[in-house]
């Protein structure tokens, strides 16, 4: 009897639903693998191994000539400038729209008021703008801005500013809504304005999470600026594209190593800012 009780106690009541969900996911993913012609065995084919081996062999030794390193340093600073300026522009886009769509900052939410209809009317276009900005990939925005302002970093800054403005605005609003909103409600009920409720009620509570996500997005902006360099937006990406055209594997490896250092830098900045704002 005790053995049966022990077996029942060890049995997972959610095992069958989990198994059914796993089977359903596999069934749904299988057509996707077929559609993308996904075949991992190709990576281990003798011809593929030989091709990849020859390609990787060109990465060594790394290019360390003084002239090339000067170009890499200049491109690195340009990449950091594109990412930082783009994020600054993105926050200018994101914060006003995020404050508009954050319902916890709405005075009409705490009781009937004349601003209820106006608040709904303002939130709809703000939500649409954020959705529109982030729905178009940054590389597409970069292509459009290259046509508008010409080749160079300005196109990358504008592309990051628009795309990441949409992303930041949406996530900022969700962070503000998900944290404790009771201080904000108390301030609104006491007659405080929207900005006062935000700065004194929401900002202190949500600051660590907001900083962490913003630095993470800055890291993503660094990567995005490298990709946009392939369409003429400047930075490390443009230099990498030139090196790849010349089949200079050592130069490509040096740029990839610098890019790895940038990611470590972003991690360090993020950890420091989380510690400061905690």
* pTM of the model as a whole: 0.75
CATH for 265: 1.10.3720.10
Please indicate whether residue 110 or residue 270 has the higher confidence score (pLDDT).
Answer: 270
What pLDDT, on the 0 to 100 scale, is given for residue 87?
Answer: 92
How many domains is the chain partitioned into structurally? 2
Residues 34 and 126 grouped into a single domain: no
Same domain for 23 and 79? no
Output the pLDDT for position 109: 58
Q: Are residues 176 and 112 in the same domain?
A: yes
**DSSP symbol at 111:** S
| Of 263 and 85, the one with more pLDDT | 85
- Indicate if 51 and 115 belong to the same structural domain: no
Contact 177, 209 (CB under 8 A): no
pLDDT digits 0-9 by tens, 77-91: 888 888 889 999 999
Of 28-32, 61-65, 94-98, 206-210, least confident by mean pLDDT is: 28-32
One domain, residues 138 and 171: yes
Residues 223 and 95 in one domain: yes
> Do 171 and 249 reside in the same domain of the chain?
yes
135 and 52 part of one domain: no
Distance set, CA 120 to CA 148, 189, 192, 196, 204 (Å): 35, 20, 20, 21, 27
In this structure, the answer to whether residues 224 and 117 fall within a common structural domain is yes
pLDDT higher than threshold 90 for residue 92: yes
**Domain limits for position 197:** 66-277
Contact 165, 141 (CB under 8 A): no
Alpha helix ranges (H) inside 102-152? 116-135, 138-149
User: Is there a single domain that holds both residue 170 and residue 202?
Assistant: yes
User: How far is 213 from 221, CA to CA, in rounded Å?
Assistant: 12
Residue 167: HSE in the Cβ half-sphere, 13 Å Cα cutoff: 22
Indicate the Cα dihedral angle 225, 216, 197, 276, nearest 10°: -120
Q: Please tell me the predicted confidence (pLDDT) of residue 52.
A: 77
Q: Do the beta carbons of residue 233 and residue 155 sit within 8 Å?
A: yes
Whether residue 21 is found in the same domain as residue 119: no
Q: Residues 130, 159: one domain?
A: yes
Give pLDDT tens digits for 93-113: 998 888 888 877 766 555 555
């Amino acid at each position: 009897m005790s053995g049966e009780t022990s077996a029942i106690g060890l049995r997972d009541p959610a095992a069958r639903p989990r198994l059914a969900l796993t089977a359903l996911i596999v069934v749904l993913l299988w057509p996707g693998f077929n559609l993308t012609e996904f075949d991992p065995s190709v990576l281990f084919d003798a011809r593929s191994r030989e091709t990849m081996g020859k390609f990787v062999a060109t990465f060594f030794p790394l290019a360390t000539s003084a002239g090339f390193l000067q170009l890499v340093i200049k491109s690195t600073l340009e990449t950091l400038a594109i990412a930082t300026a783009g994020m600054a522009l993105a926050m200018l886009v994101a914060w006003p729209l995020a404050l508009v769509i954050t319902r916890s900052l709405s005075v009409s939410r705490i009781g009937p008021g004349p601003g209820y209809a106006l608040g709904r009317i303002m939130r709809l276009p703000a939500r649409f703008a954020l959705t529109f900005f982030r729905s178009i990939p940054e590389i597409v925005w970069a292509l459009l801005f290259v046509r508008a302002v010409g080749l160079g970093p300005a196109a990358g800054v504008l592309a990051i500013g628009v795309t990441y403005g949409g992303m930041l605005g949406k996530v900022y609003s969700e962070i503000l809504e998900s944290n404790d909103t009771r201080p904000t409600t108390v301030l609104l009920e006491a007659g405080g304005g929207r900005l006062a409720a935000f700065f004194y009620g929401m900002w202190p509570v949500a600051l660590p999470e907001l900083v962490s996500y913003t630095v993470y997005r800055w890291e993503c902006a660094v990567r995005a600026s490298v990709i946009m360099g392939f369409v003429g937006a400047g930075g490390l990406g443009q230099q990498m594209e030139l090196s790849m055209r010349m089949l200079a594997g050592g130069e490509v490896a040096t740029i990839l190593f610098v890019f790895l250092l940038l990611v470590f830098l972003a991690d360090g900045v993020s950890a420091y800012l989380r510690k400061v704002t905690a």
